[in-house]
């Protein structure tokens, strides 16, 4: 019976008991469970408690509730890959917390489905093809791939796809490789973030990539940025696409770049932008730190009498795409788009397992896009700050 002293809710206790009875085959696939009224009497709970327990069983795919007829046990073996199917996850690095979150999502689905997941770290481009061939020869039945920036070994993937070997690309994709892929809605998100800055009064908006500029996710974000400017009547200026400031920035070099704040300061002097789009979390973090360095320099220069600077004029507002909320200067970061890596990994694994079922092996490739949620942070007095900053960006000939 249910235990009123158990800290778990009664509906969850009932759900667990019914699930255990189904697993013991007291109720077999196709059997109808007792009615809500009978379960209510049997366990001494309200019908609301029974309904919540049944809804949870239905959500888990254990039962099917048929209007006017009752709840029927489903066959848990249908639609699942063969037992102990083996798949591999190819990662370019383990140093990126975002990629780690993608792996966690994929692993969660694999464990739930009883799949053996082999994780292969491919930090050297020269070893990727070798590892893939070894995995296939050793019985791996499908691949989840987080592609490298320069997209090596396209021909190998093409050969595998010609044999209907299941491959799912995550986060970014090979432009010349038509296979299953699960990515974020990068162009739409960059468009929304850029338009948010425009709505806040900005007309000079720069965008900053990191060390990866040729991957499809970054290119799609650049497209969204450009389209937002043009559709809002703002001329696109390619000089505001700042490719060189953080060209060496990667997760492992974060906060270790010595001269990036100097390059950022010179860009601000020459281009006089008031808003920044950071294409990923690491760029946003580095920009925030570099702006603090610039601010400190200007304050020291003012105290030393070398110049007088209104530091508030040198505080462009930042929007970013990020996989997590990070410690930031509230006066700088005004919004970010949340990149849910675990959701990406889950959808990627589900897409791969669908191919392993057999019935979908020859269907056209799936191109899934996961939306990102834009979260606004600081709404106080932003219009005044933008106007003061945009009227006269005068750096007084200072050099950093």
Ranges for all domains in the chain classified under CATH 3.40.50.2300: 86-184+342-370, 186-340+375-391
Q: Is the pLDDT of residue 268 over 60?
A: yes
Counting other chains too, the contacts that 305-308 makes at CB distance below 8 Å and 24 or more residues apart are 306/398, 307/396, 307/398, 308/396
| Strand (E) or helix (H) holding 63 | strand 63-66
Ranges for all domains in the chain classified under CATH 1.10.10.10: 10-73
C-alpha 143/C-alpha 166 separation (Å) is 6
Domain with residues 10-73, CATH architecture: Orthogonal Bundle (1.10)
Instruction: Kindly indicate the confidence band of residue 4, based on its pLDDT and cuts at 50, 70 and 90.
Output: confident
Taking only the tens place, the pLDDT of each residue in 372-385 is 999 998 654 444 44
Q: How would you label 281-301 residue by residue, b for 16+ Cβ within 10 Å and e otherwise?
A: bbbbbbbbbbbeebbebbeeb
DSSP assignment of 191-241 equals: HHHHHHHHHTT-S-EEEE--S--SSHHHHHHHHHHHHHHHHTT----GGGB
Supply the pLDDT for residue 389: 38
204 vs 247: which has the higher pLDDT: 204
Instruction: Kindly indicate the confidence band of residue 155, based on its pLDDT and cuts at 50, 70 and 90.
Output: confident
Supply the pLDDT for residue 125: 64
Instruction: Kindly indicate the confidence band of residue 12, based on its pLDDT and cuts at 50, 70 and 90.
Output: very high
Taking only the tens place, the pLDDT of each residue in 315-333 is 789 999 988 766 554 458 8
97 vs 375: which has the higher pLDDT: 375
* Winning range, highest mean pLDDT, from 22-36, 76-90, 248-262, 300-314: 22-36
Supply the pLDDT for residue 328: 52
DSSP code of residue 32: B
* Winning range, highest mean pLDDT, from 54-68, 134-148, 149-163, 339-353: 339-353
Question: In terms of DSSP bridges, do strands 367-370 and 275-278 run parallel, antiparallel, or are they unpaired?
Answer: unpaired
Taking only the tens place, the pLDDT of each residue in 57-82 is 998 889 998 888 889 999 876 655 55
Q: Tell me phi and psi for residue 369, to 5 degrees.
A: -120, 125
Cβ atoms of residues 339 and 323 within 8 Å: yes
Burial class (CB in 10 A: 0-12, 13-18, 19+), 205: buried
Q: Is the pLDDT of residue 85 over 70?
A: yes
Fold of 186-340+375-391: Rossmann fold (3.40.50)
pTM of this structure: 0.73
Q: Give the CATH class of 86-184+342-370.
A: alpha beta
Supply the pLDDT for residue 331: 57
C-alpha 158/C-alpha 237 separation (Å) is 38
Q: Is the pLDDT of residue 299 over 80?
A: no
What average pLDDT does the chain have? 84
Neighbours of 53 (CB within 10 A): 25
* Winning range, highest mean pLDDT, from 55-59, 75-79, 172-176, 236-240: 236-240
């Amino acid at each position: 019976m249910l235990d009123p002293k158990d800290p778990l809710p009664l509906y969850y206790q009932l759900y667990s008991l019914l699930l255990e009875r189904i697993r013991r085959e007291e109720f077999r696939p196709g059997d109808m469970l007792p009615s809500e009224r009978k379960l209510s009497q049997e366990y001494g709970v309200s019908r609301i408690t029974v309904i919540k327990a049944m809804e949870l069983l239905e959500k888990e795919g254990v039962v099917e509730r048929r209007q006017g007829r009752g709840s029927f046990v489903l066959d848990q073996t249908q639609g699942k890959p063969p037992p102990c199917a083996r798949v591999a996850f190819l990662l370019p690095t383990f140093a990126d917390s975002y990629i780690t979150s993608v792996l966690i999502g994929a692993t969660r689905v694999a464990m739930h489905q009883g799949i053996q997941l082999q994780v292969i770290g491919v930090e050297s481009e020269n070893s990727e093809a070798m590892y893939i061939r070894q995995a296939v020869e050793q019985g791996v039945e499908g691949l989840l791939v987080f592609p490298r920036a320069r997209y090596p070994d396209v021909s190998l993937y093409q050969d595998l796809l010609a044999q209907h070997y299941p491959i799912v690309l995550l986060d970014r994709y090979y432009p010349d490789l038509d296979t299953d892929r699960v990515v974020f809605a990068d162009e739409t998100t960059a468009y929304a973030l850029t338009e948010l800055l425009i709505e806040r009064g900005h007309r000079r908006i720069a965008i900053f990539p990191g060390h990866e500029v040729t991957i499809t996710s970054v290119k799609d974000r650049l497209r969204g940025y450009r389209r937002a400017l043009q559709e809002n009547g703002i001329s696109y200026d390619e000089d505001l696409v700042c490719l060189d400031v953080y060209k060496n920035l990667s997760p492992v070099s974060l906060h270790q770049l010595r001269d990036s704040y100097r390059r950022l300061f010179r860009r601000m002097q020459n281009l006089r932008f008031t808003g920044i789009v950071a294409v990923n979390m690491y760029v946003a973090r580095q920009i925030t730190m570099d702006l603090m360095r610039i601010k400190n320099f200007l304050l020291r220069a003012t105290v030393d009498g070398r110049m007088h600077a209104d530091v508030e004029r040198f505080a462009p507002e930042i929007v970013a795409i990020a996989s997590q909320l990070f410690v930031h200067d509230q006066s700088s970061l005004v919004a970010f788009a949340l990149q849910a890596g675990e959701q990406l990994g889950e959808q990627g694994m589900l897409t791969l397992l669908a191919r392993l079922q057999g019935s979908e092996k020859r269907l056209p490739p799936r191109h899934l896009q996961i939306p990102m949620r834009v979260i606004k942070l600081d709404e106080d007095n932003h219009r005044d700050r933008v106007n003061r900053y945009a009227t006269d960006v005068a750096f007084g000939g200072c050099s950093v």
